[in-house]
Amino acid sequence: MISYRQKQHLGKIIKYIVLTIVAFITLFPLVIVLSSSFKNESELFNFPFRFIPENPIVTNFARLMDKFPLYIWNSVKLTFTIVVVQLFTAATGAYVFTKLYWKGRDFIFGLYLASMMIPMQAVMIPQFLIIRNINLYDTHASLVLLGAFTAFGTFLIKQYFMSIPDTYCEAARIDGAKEWAIFTTLMLPMSKSVLVTQVIFSFRFFWNDFFTPLIYITTPELKTLPLGMTDFVREQYVYWGPQMAAALISIIPVLIIFLFGQKYFVQGVASSGLKG
């Protein structure tokens, strides 16, 4: 007869085994990228696959030193700018839709949320025509403009703002505080976790974005890191080693951002669902 304590231990063992398997499946592609970054082209396709390279090389990374520092800088500059602009528009929008009362507020917010349901393919051509007609095609400004607003980010931060009692804002207004002061000195400091969560979401998306720069950037010097990885794709051959090295480098910033913001990320996601 199995005791209750033994059942608990057995349940924990099964849970850890399942979590270990899931973690291995999740990390397996990353291990492949890491291993392949230090292999030559012939060793990449050896069978059976060896996780530890037989003859480790660093020439794959050396081949990135020509143009990839510029690609990395373009990605850093663009991603940082878009994340800051998007965080500002999402936070101010969330405040206006949550703590200010005006006619048609909920209807306008519903239309804003409905924009998330429109497929990108449906707006791709109109967006392209607008960007071209205002002479922003083949510029980084076009990418910043396209990424400046986010319905999802506004919704995420709005849900968190709804969990903050309106009495705080009302007390501040009674004391004579203006709306901008309430927003910057009261709401933002109390919403650090959801703001970090939005930063992580935005950073991951725009750092890895390939499709948008592919459409709007043609000058080689303006390429971002994901777009620059196509430099190793030729009509007859793909240089997999340098591509794996570039992919490994592209993973590192996202991993660092998530590790430093993990605590706030969990709190932000959990707290944003308190009220709906």
Q: Give the CATH number for residue 232.
A: 1.10.3720.10
Number of domains in the chain: 1
Higher pLDDT, 79 or 273: 79
Q: Is the pLDDT of residue 268 over 70?
A: no
**Residue range 139-164: mean pLDDT, rounded:** 92
In a domain, 201, yes or no: yes
What mean pLDDT is predicted for residues 30-40?
A: 87
Percentage above 90 pLDDT, the chain: 43
* pLDDT score of 276: 40
Residue 16 maps to a domain: no
- The per-residue pLDDT for 43 is 81
Does residue 33 form part of some domain? no
- Written as six digits, the tokens of 17 are 């085994």
Specify if 46 maps to a domain.
no
Residue 4 pLDDT level (bands cut at 50, 70, 90): low
Confidence label for 274 from pLDDT (cuts 50, 70 and 90):
very low
Please give the mean pLDDT across all residues of the chain: 87
Secondary structure, 3-state, the chain: CCCHHHHHHHHHHHHHHHHHHHHHHHHHHHHHHHHHCCCCHHHHCCCCCCCCCCCCCCHHHHCCCCCHHHHHHHHHHHHHHHHHHHHHHHHHHHHHHHHCCCCCHHHHHHHHHHHHHCCHHHHHHHHHHHHHHCCCCCCHHHHHHHCCCCHHHHHHHHHHHHCCCHHHHHHHHHCCCCHHHHHHHHHHHHCHHHHHHHHHHHHHHHHHCCHHHHHHCCCHHHCCHHHHHHHHECCCCECHHHHHHHHHHHHHHHHHHHHHHHHHHHHHHHHCCCCC
Q: Is residue 126 included in any domain, yes or no?
A: yes
Whether residue 55 lies inside any domain: the answer is no
For the entire predicted model, the pTM comes to 0.84
- On whether residue 4 sits in a domain, the answer given is no
Asked whether residue 41 is assigned to any structural domain, the reply reads no
Confidence of residue 265 (pLDDT cuts 50, 70, 90): low
The predicted pLDDT at position 254 comes to 87
pLDDT tens digits along 43-81? 877 777 778 888 888 888 888 888 899 999 999 999 999
Interval 170-187 mean pLDDT: 91
Domain of residue 110 covers: 66-271
